A = this chain, B = another copy of it.
Amino acid sequence: MFPKLDPLLHSELRLAVMSVLAGVDSADFSFIKKQTGATAGNLSVQIDKLTTAGYITVEKGFKGKMPCTTCKITPQGRDAFQAYVDALKEYLSAGLD
């Protein structure tokens, strides 16, 4: 009845990060930080986890002279996000009407 929720996505900050990335081609660390309101440390950790899971890719480069970490959702990440949304619907159905 209640499908298991992907623990990687069932996390406030990671879910917010995925939500941001689902809507853009790519986004850099500072942008995601601003959109989510997360602390840098927390964001850094969660981005690592999403990367390890293959849900996003990270490219480190420079914007001018400043370091810049750019993130992008992967097809696998997009699938996982969609699956998570679908699974959640089972839990929320009472409130989605």
Contact = CB atoms under 8 A, between A and B. Distances in A.
Interface of A: 1-2, 4-5, 10, 12, 15-16, 19, 22-23, 35-37, 81-82, 84-86, 88, 90-96
Copy number in the complex reads 2
A2 B36 contact: yes
Contacts of A88: 88, 92
A22 B94 contact: yes
14 contacts: A1-B35, A1-B37, A2-B16, A2-B19, A2-B37, A4-B12, A5-B12, A10-B12, A15-B91, A23-B94, A84-B95, A85-B96, A86-B95, A88-B92
A96 B92 CA distance: 12
